Amino acid sequence: MAGGYSMEVPFHRPSITEAEIEEVVACLRSGWLTTGPRVRRFEEAFAQAVGARWAVAVNSCTAALHLAVEALGLRAGQVVLVPTLTFAATAEVVRYLGAWPLLVDCDHSTLNMDLNDAEDKIRKLRQGRLPLDRRAEVVGIIPVHVAGLMMDMDDVAEFARRHGLWIVEDAAHAFPAAYWSKHTQSWRKAGEKTAAVTCFSFYANKTITTGEGGMAVTDDAQLAARIRQMSLHGLSHDAWSRYQAGGSWDYQILSPGYKYNLPDLAAALGIHQLARAEELRQKRETLARSYLESLSDASFVELPPNPSDRVHAWHLFVIRIRSLAGQNIRDELIRKLREAGIGCSVHWRPLHLHPYYRDILGWSSDLFPVATTIWQQLLSLPLFPDMTIEEQQYVVKTLKAVLNQSVSVRKAA
Ligand SMILES: Cc1ncc(COP(=O)(O)O)c(C=O)c1O
């Protein structure tokens, strides 16, 4: 028993089949490694999978978010609503353009952005009670579907309409995912219809992966064209179209763009991952249901919601550890689980508690009572499609054991 534990369960293990490996090898043998025919195939299939007209593949979700807000014309000094409980990327892309994130608290149950608080934050901004210029123009909102549980995009759309905002959907966790739209009485996927642009992540531990990668999808031809152009130095033609029969070596620089294009080598993986996306989601859902059942009797553990009006992507399985006699034991549990060979994580320390947003920009904790309390209880357990029953049982058994241990130590004290 190496290290004193009976099993090692990583936080994530990508699911890679022979078909994916063969496609990467075929790409290597083809002589074309950068953006080309495999990226085009990946984009077309992805647009179809989410029900959007256009999809532009890029090298990260961060790049997709950056290109989305740039294409929407975000300017220095403007303001965008961003949840405080999110990853760095959601807010940093707003800062890239000199605009400001207006941070919003999260909903206690779903952990997604609380639209009532968004309303309140706009009111406080106008009253000059936030560390932002009270006269600044609020132009957009970036909802995040935390862990793969979608926000109700009907509500987001209604909120955005009322305040005259564009929507960029951060769906880094939400492929494939859907919500039941009360408005249209139909299932709507992340990326389908509501947002101006939706951004997905294919980072190594995401629901489908290309190692690093992302996709921006939209129904708007002009936004798609701007995103595509800015993803490759602002050039009039990409390399693949220049080297095609009938293509010309010539191109023009139309804007000072970025270097965000996805290579064919990565798309080779993506094409096959995409075809398996629903199968992989179902495997995660089965594991998530099994966690929900086997942890239902664990004291001090609060389980994630699984509402029937959502198709949950189950990118993450986030539990909450209630405090024990007023003491927070989350970090102690993570340490003990790691000692037992189990990889865990926390999603996330809220943005307003990071030095840049707290000390430099001046956001204070009392503006975010829910996120400030809840994040200290959050613990993400391993969840990935190829996790075995034995691995999951080991996680459940060990979690219960270390919880009991912590409880008894405190009772004895
Ligand atoms: C909510 C959210 N948005 C954006 C990103 C950025 O994704 P990427 O690593 O593909 O840039 C992440 C990454 O984990 C994320 O969790």
Q: Answer whether 345 contacts ligand 1 (Cβ < 6 A).
A: no
Residue range(s) in the chain whose domain bears CATH number 3.90.1150.10: 277-412
Which CATH number is associated with domain 18-275? 3.40.640.10
pTM for this predicted structure: 0.97
Give the whole-angstrom CA distance, residue 30 versus residue 161: 48
Per the CB < 8 A criterion, the answer to whether 27 and 265 are in contact is yes
Q: Name the DSSP class of 111.
A: -
Contacts of 383 (CB under 8 A, 6+ apart): 284, 287, 288, 291, 314, 316, 317
What is the rounded distance in angstroms from the CA atom of residue 55 to the CA atom of residue 64? 10
Strand partners, 56: 216
First to last CA, the chain: 31
DSSP secondary-structure letter at 261?
A: B
The catalytically annotated residue of 206, 259, 336, 411 is 206
In CATH, what class is 277-412? alpha beta
Side-chain half-sphere CA neighbours of 21 within 13 A = 5
Q: How far is the CA of 170 from the centre of ligand 1 (A)?
A: 8
Query: What is the reported pLDDT for 4?
Result: 56
The helix/strand/coil state of 260 is: coil
pLDDT in tens, 287-317: 999 999 999 999 899 999 999 999 999 999 9
Q: Which run of H or E residues covers position 238?
A: none
Active site residue 206: yes
Distance between CA atoms of 304 and 179, rounded to whole angstroms? 16
Average pLDDT for consecutive 10-residue bins of the chain (413 residues)?
70 97 98 96 98 98 98 98 98 98 98 98 98 98 98 98 98 98 97 96 98 98 97 86 78 95 98 98 98 95 98 98 88 96 98 97 97 97 98 97 89 76
Three-state DSSP class for residue 321: strand
Residues of the chain with CATH 3.40.640.10: 18-275
Name 301's bridge partners. Answer: 321
Any atom of ligand 1 within 6 Å of the Cβ of 214 = yes
